[in-house]
Structure formats: structure tokens, C-alpha cells
């Protein structure tokens, strides 16, 4: 069913978090993720602490109630005392700050005179200190989409959280390698009115960020949070969407969920259902499932609740394949850690027999029109779960609850936690405010990257083919490549080295990251002067990457790349012509292309193509 989003009053805003390709934000450790075994492991528990205003944060309380233990993994080589929260932070990484200022200028956003780093309470344990540092850098601004202008709300510089590795009941394992990697947080106004607009806007922001050549690439380096509401619904935040490809589907399905919940509310009210209909007590269903065929209920403590006159309502669809019952289950799961609930609208199922269902109905005193729900678990948690079911049902009478949701595969989402309250930020006392100086901004303004269209035009002018140009236009090498063009290096050779040769080397496990910009320039200069040829470019670069401490001339010596004298070239060519004399007699000058392969092999890297060509022509003429 296609929804009419205009009629629904869909409103959506995007908040994009993109890792920057610089050092860590508040310490000088490298911002790299490691897959080898961490050598430091320690534990922490989440506790809720009142803010300066005496309030407890709802999200922190909920996390503390679960009593989860957080296990942290770190590396002594690439993590320091800042990441383990044992030492005050260092000043913000200069390149990260510059990148964010540049992006703010690109979005016509107003840069704050004094940038103040704040602490934002984080309750899930992913920030070991219990807070994430964030600094508002700019406010306002705009982005042009094909059919409209979208307002920019704010641009901030933040530190990334620790990396979740494993989640089991009562335990989360985090790795500190990701903690402190700089993130730009780019938030739009809720100006987007359709799923398609949200997608276009996300792509546009992605392009803007990538134009700087200073953002990380690949899986997990960008996360998008979606704010979605419909007129009769509520603000819901879907946090951490990774697949840009289906970002519109998340918006579509959230609008659908909200409109379905609105419809459910109307139905509940029409039926005269009120809180009284589910105000009963949790009932111990002990004994009913002692010999059950249902594996997860057999011999377990089970507690149930009657939902008067609610037959069929738990089975109402909210999203494709998701029912109102799934909403209740997600609340129970998030708030108690219990793995969900079972309700009458999904039975018979899971091996639960008709006889057991009848017994439950009897014990809960259910009539034909009533529904029921039950949970299995330790008594205290099960009672809490029953209370949560009642609360969520009460909310359904009011409408759509505001909340934070987790994206699920395919475009659905599920409840994760309440929307964060406003009382969560306070200043980071270990850092001085950063004054943004006009002269510095002017300097940054001069380094604003070209647009994609400008880039393609420039590359074309320098004779770069379409394939390489398209590959380069949003590549992290683009800015450096343009610097090389300014220095007059050949566009095709430069782009081939940066894109194709480097990729080939990476695939072969050669440490390309050892090749600095300075080294690239030296290699290109050597090509320009004829000291090395295109044919050995890849081998020379690879060898230098493995031995970056050596000089280029030393590397070239190892390859015994010496210029062959003209006479040597001629000798080599004569030898090959004689070897193929039959062919040359037959094809005369036309044999050149057939011989070229052998000649290049023989003279690999010792002479340039133009010389070889000239001598070959001369020798072929002489021979015939």
C-alpha cells in the first residue's frame, strides 16, 4: 500500500555522523580499528547519577536497572589513558577541527565564535566515562536539493563511542579502538517531506562531506539518525541506519507504523477500551507449561495478564511482518532484558497446544472477546514486564509514543530507549573554549574543495578519461590529485598511480599507507624526467612502500633501472628483429606492433616508449 505522505503530514530530518580521516580527537593515538587480540581487558558497571539539577536521566536509569556489566578491550600500543578515562583529554585534533569548519563554510552555516566542548551523558556503556564529548561548531545554513532548499540545523564535532563487539544477557563487550575517532555530526531541519527527499538529502550530505577528501570510507564509518513524525504521530528517532540504499524505506515504514498506531488508537477508543481493561494483576500460570512441547516455556515460571475486550488488537500490523504485539515485546526486551512476550493473537504457535491455551484462558478468566499476554522469567522481572505491557498499552490509547528506535534489516525498526532528555549536557571542564579567528577562517575558505561538476570539468581539461575521472571525483585522493595537476604532472599517470596502482598494491598486501604525498611527487618527478618509465612504475612504488626509509634512487638501483644507451636499445631491437625475421619479411613495417611486447620485456624500464618506437621504425626500414 502506498501512503500519501503529504496527507499524513510527514516530517523528517537527518542527523549524519561521519568519521573523519584524521587522528583521534582528544588524544594523539591513531584512529584505526584493530582485529588482533586486545591485550588489556577491564570491567565497569553502569550507575545512574543525578545531574546538577538533581534529575536522573531516563535513559541512564533504564540502563542501570538492567544491571549490565560492560567489558572493555584495549591495546597498549594504540590506546592511552585518555581512552580508558584515567587521564584528562588533550586539545582537539587540529585537522579534525579544520575539516569541520570547512564543511560548515561549505554549507553556509554560521560558525560559533567560541566553540565549547560539552559532555553528553551516554547510558549504554559505549563511552567509558559515561559521557561523549561534543562541540557545537556552527548553526544554520542550507543545502540545495533538486526541488527544494533544506535548512541545516547544526554542525558539531564529536568523539565516536567504543565499538560494540558482543552483546549477551547482562553483558556487553566494547572495544576502545573506535572511542575518540572524530565524528562530524551534521543535522538538518525537519524540512524533508517524503522518503525520496530524505534519501536525496542523505546522498547530498554524503557528497558534501566526501568532497573534503578528509572523511573515512567503508562500512561503519557513516551512521545516519532519522527523525520521523507524521501530523497525528510523534517524534521518533531511528538511530544508526547504516545502509544509505534503503534509508527511504526506513522513513516509509516509520510513517506506516505511526499511521497504523493512530488507527489502532481510534479503534481502541471506538471499542470503549480504557486502562481499566488491562488493569488486572499478573497471574502465576504455574504448572500449565510443566510438560509443554514449547521448548522455551517447558518447566519455566510463566506469568500472564488478561487484556479485556482486546481480542485481535495485538495482531494489528504496524510494519510489514510486525504487529502491535511486537511493539509490546520490544518494550519488554529493552526494559527488562527478557526475550519478549507471547500473546493470544499469535497462538497457536511455538508448540503451545490448544489445551494449554484453554488452561491459560481459564486461569486468567478470559472471555471470548478478551486477549492475553504472558512472559516467562524470574518473578521480579516478569512482574516488571507485565507492568511494562500495561504501560505500553495505555500509551496506545494516547497515540504514538516518542522514542528512540533501532533499525532492523530491510527497513523495519524496534524500540530501543526513551528519547534522550534535555538535561544531559554539561561543559567539559578539562578543555578551554576554542576561539575561531577570522583570519583562520579566511585561510580555510581558500581551501574549499571544488564541486563535483567543477572537478569533472577540470579533469577533462587535463585529458583524464571518463572512467578515472568518475572514480576520482569523490575519492579521498581528489584534493591531492588536483595539487598534482597544479604542479603540471600528467593527469592520467597520476590518477592511475593513485587509484589503480595503489589499489592493486593494497590487494597484494603491500603497505600503501607508507607512501607519503612527498614520495608520490618524487615518483612522478622521476617519471617526468624519464628516470623511470610507466612500465616499472608499479614495481618501484611497491618496493618503496615496503622500504619507505630508503631514498628513491636507492630503490631504483635495486631494480637496476639504468638508462640504456641508444646503442643498447638498438642492439636489443636488432636481436629481436632477427629472431622474428620471417614475420618481419612478410609484414615489413607492419610487424612493429607484434614485436613490441618482446622488446618492452627485454628493455623493461630502461628506455622510454618514444625512443623504442623511433629506433624500431628505423631498424625495420633497414631490414626490409
**Footprint of Zn ion (CB under 5 A):** 27, 29, 80, 82-83
Residue 487 CB, shortest distance to Zn ion, in Å, is 36
Using the minimum distance from each CB to Zn ion, give the nearer residue, 30 or 511: 30
Which residues, in sequence order, are bridge partners of residue 173? 71, 166
Our CB check for Zn ion shows the closer of 80 and 388 to be 80
Exposed/middle/buried for residue 367 (C-beta within 10 Å: 0-12, 13-18, 19+) = exposed
Q: What is the 3-state secondary structure (H, E, C) of 483-508?
A: HHHHCCCCHHHHHHHHHHHHHHHHHC
Task: Let me know: does 135 contact 96? Beta carbons within 8 Å.
Answer: no
Sequence-ordered list of residues with C-beta below 8 angstroms from that of 551, at least 6 positions apart, any chain: none
Residues 6+ apart with CB under 8 A from 507: none
Residues 6 or more apart whose CB falls under 8 angstroms from that of 562 comprise 606
Cβ proximity to Zn ion: between 93 and 482 the closer is 93
Instruction: Choose between 82 and 234: whose C-beta lies nearer to Zn ion.
Output: 82
> Please, what is the minimum distance in Å from the beta carbon of residue 83 to Zn ion?
5
Residue whose CB is less far from Zn ion, 86 or 517: 86
- CB-wise, 177 or 308, nearer to Zn ion? 177
List C-alpha distances in Å: 216 to 14, 80, 210, 273, 483: 19, 22, 9, 52, 20
**Min CB(28)–Zn ion separation in Å:** 7
Q: Which is nearer to Zn ion, 74 or 341 (CB)?
A: 74
CA separation for the pair 499, 475 (Å, rounded): 9
Nearer to Zn ion, 87 or 618 (CB): 87
Pairwise CA distance, residues 44 & 79, whole Å: 18
Q: Give whichever of 27 and 234 is closer to Zn ion, judged by the CB atom.
A: 27
With a CB cutoff of 8 Å and minimum separation 6, the contacts of 161 are: 122, 126, 127, 132, 178, 179
CA distance 330 to 400: 15
Q: 620 and 594 in contact (C-beta within 8 Å)?
A: no
Closer by beta carbon to Zn ion, 38 or else 233 = 38
CB distance 285 to 363 below 8 Å: yes
Shortest distance (Å) from residue 513 CB to Zn ion:
19
Closest approach of Zn ion to the CB of residue 24, in Å: 6
Shortest Å distance, C-beta 29 to Zn ion? 3
**Buried-exposed string 461-495: b where 16+ CB fall within 10 A, e elsewhere:** ebebeeebbebbbbbbbbbebbebbeeebbbebbb
What are the cell numbers at 577?
628483429
Q: How far is the CB of 353 from Zn ion (least distance, A)?
A: 58
CA nearest neighbour of 478 among 488, 487, 469: 469
Which lies closer to Zn ion via its Cβ, residue 27 or residue 251? 27
| Closest separation in Å from C-beta 82 to Zn ion | 5
Minimum CB distance to Zn ion, residue 46 (Å): 23
Q: How many CB atoms lie within 10 A of CB 436?
A: 18
CB of 121 to Zn ion, least distance (A): 22
Q: Residue 215: CB partners within 8 Å, gap ≥ 6? A: 18, 19, 20, 21, 99, 184, 209, 221, 222, 476
Q: Which is nearer to Zn ion, 30 or 220 (CB)?
A: 30
Closer residue to Zn ion in complex, CB, 82/189 = 82
Q: How far is the CB of 156 from Zn ion (least distance, A)?
A: 21
Which grid cell is 15? 542527523
Q: Which residues pair with residue 20 across a beta bridge? A: 215
CB of 79 to Zn ion, least distance (A): 6
Of the pair 80, 214, the CB lying nearest Zn ion is at 80
Minimum CB distance to Zn ion, residue 21 (Å): 17
Element (H, E) at 138: strand 131-139
Decide whether 26 or 481 has the Cβ nearer to Zn ion: 26
> Shortest Cβ distance from residue 37 to Zn ion (Å)?
19
CB 157 to Zn ion: min, Å: 17
Q: Determine how many CB atoms are found less than 10 A away from the CB of residue 186.
A: 28
H or E stretch covering 15? strand 11-19
**Closest by Cα among 39, 398, 411, 13 to 187:** 13
* Whether 535 contacts 564, CB under 8 Å: no
CA gyration radius, the chain: 33
By three-state DSSP, how is residue 109 classified?
A: coil
Amino acid at each position: 500500500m502506498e501512503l500519501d505522505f503529504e496527507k499524513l503530514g510527514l516530517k523528517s530530518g537527518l542527523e549524519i555522523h561521519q568519521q573523519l580521516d584524521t587522528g583521534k580527537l582528544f588524544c594523539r593515538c591513531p584512529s584505526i580499528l584493530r582485529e588482533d587480540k586486545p591485550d588489556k581487558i577491564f570491567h565497569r558497571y553502569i550507575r545512574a547519577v543525578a545531574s546538577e539539577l538533581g534529575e536522573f536521566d531516563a535513559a541512564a536509569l533504564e540502563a542501570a536497572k538492567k544491571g549490565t556489566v560492560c567489558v572493555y578491550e584495549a591495546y597498549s600500543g594504540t590506546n592511552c589513558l585518555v581512552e580508558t578515562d584515567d587521564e584528562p583529554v588533550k586539545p582537539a585534533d587540529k585537522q579534525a577541527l579544520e575539516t569541520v569548519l570547512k564543511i560548515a563554510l561549505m554549507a553556509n552555516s554560521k560558525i560559533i565564535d567560541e566553540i565549547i566542548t560539552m559532555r553528553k551523558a551516554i547510558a549504554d556503556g559505549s563511552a567509558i566515562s559515561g559521557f561523549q564529548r561534543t562541540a557545537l561548531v556552527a548553526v544554520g545554513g542550507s543545502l540545495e536539493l533538486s526541488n527544494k532548499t533544506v535548512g541545516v540545523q547544526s554542525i558539531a564535532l564529536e568523539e565516536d563511542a567504543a565499538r560494540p563487539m558482543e552483546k549477551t544477557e547482562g553483558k556487553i563487550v566494547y572495544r576502545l579502538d573506535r572511542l575518540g575517532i572524530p565524528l562530524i555530526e551534521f543535522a538538518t531541519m525537519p524540512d524533508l517531506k517524503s522518503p525520496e527527499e530524505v534519501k536525496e538529502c542523505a546522498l547530498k550530505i554524503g557528497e558534501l562531506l566526501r568532497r573534503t577528501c578528509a572523511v573515512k570510507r567503508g562500512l561503519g564509518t557513516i551512521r545516519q539518525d532519522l527523525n520521523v513524525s507524521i501530523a497525528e504521530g510523534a517524534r521518533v528517532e531511528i538511530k544508526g541506519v547504516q545502509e544509505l540504499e534503503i534509508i527511504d524505506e526506513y522513513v516509509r515504514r516509520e510513517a506506516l507504523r505511526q499511521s497504523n498506531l493512530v488507527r489502532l488508537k481510534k479503534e481502541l477508543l471506538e471499542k470503549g477500551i480504557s486502562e481499566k481493561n488491562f488493569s488486572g494483576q499478573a497471574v502465576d500460570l504455574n504448572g500449565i507449561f510443566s510438560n509443554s512441547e514449547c521448548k522455551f516455556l517447558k518447566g519455566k515460571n510463566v506469568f500472564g495478564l488478561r487484556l479485556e475486550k482486546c481480542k485481535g488488537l495485538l495482531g494489528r500490523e504496524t510494519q510489514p511482518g510486525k504487529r502491535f504485539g511486537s511493539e509490546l515485546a520490544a518494550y519488554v526486551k529493552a526494559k527488562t532484558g527478557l526475550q519478549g512476550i507471547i500473546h493470544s493473537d499469535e497462538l497457536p504457535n511455538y508448540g503451545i497446544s490448544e489445551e494449554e491455551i484453554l488452561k491459560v484462558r481459564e486461569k486468567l478468566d478470559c472471555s471470548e472477546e478478551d486477549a492475553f499476554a504472558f512472559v516467562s522469567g524470574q518473578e521480579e522481572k516478569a512482574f516488571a514486564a507485565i507492568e511494562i505491557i500495561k504501560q505500553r498499552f495505555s500509551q496506545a490509547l494516547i497515540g504514538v509514543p516518542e522514542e528512540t528506535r533501532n533499525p532492523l534489516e530491510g527497513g523495519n525498526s524496534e524500540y530501543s530507549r526513551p528519547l534522550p532528555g534535555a538535561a544531559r549536557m554539561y561543559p567539559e571542564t578539562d578543555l578551554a573554549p576554542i576561539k575561531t579567528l577570522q583570519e583562520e577562517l579566511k585561510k580555510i575558505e581558500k581551501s574549499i574543495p571544488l564541486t563535483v561538476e567543477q572537478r569533472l570539468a577540470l579533469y577533462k581539461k587535463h585529458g583524464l578519461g571518463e572512467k578515472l575521472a568518475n572514480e576520482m571525483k569523490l575519492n579521498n585522493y581528489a584534493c591531492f590529485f588536483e595539487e598534482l595537476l597544479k604542479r603540471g604532472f600528467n593527469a592520467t599517470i597520476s590518477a592511475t598511480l593513485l587509484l589503480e596502482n595503489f589499489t592493486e598494491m593494497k590487494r597484494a598486501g603491500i603497505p600503501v599507507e607508507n607512501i607519503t604525498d612527498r614520495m608520490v611527487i618524487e615518483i612522478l618527478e622521476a617519471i617526468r624526467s624519464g628516470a623511470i618509465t610507466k612500465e616499472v612504475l608499479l614495481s618501484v612504488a611497491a618496493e618503496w612502500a615496503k622500504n619507505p626509509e630508503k631514498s628513491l634512487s636507492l630503490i631504483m638501483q635495486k631494480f637496476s633501472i639504468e638508462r640504456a644507451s641508444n646503442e643498447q636499445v638498438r642492439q636489443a631491437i636488432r636481436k629481436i628483429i632477427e629472431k622474428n625475421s620471417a614475420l618481419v619479411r612478410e609484414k615489413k613495417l607492419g610487424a612493429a606492433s607484434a614485436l613490441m611486447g618482446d622488446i618492452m620485456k627485454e628493455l623493461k624500464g630502461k628506455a622510454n616508449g618514444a625512443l623504442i618506437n623511433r629506433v624500431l621504425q628505423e631498424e625495420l626500414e633497414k631490414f626490409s
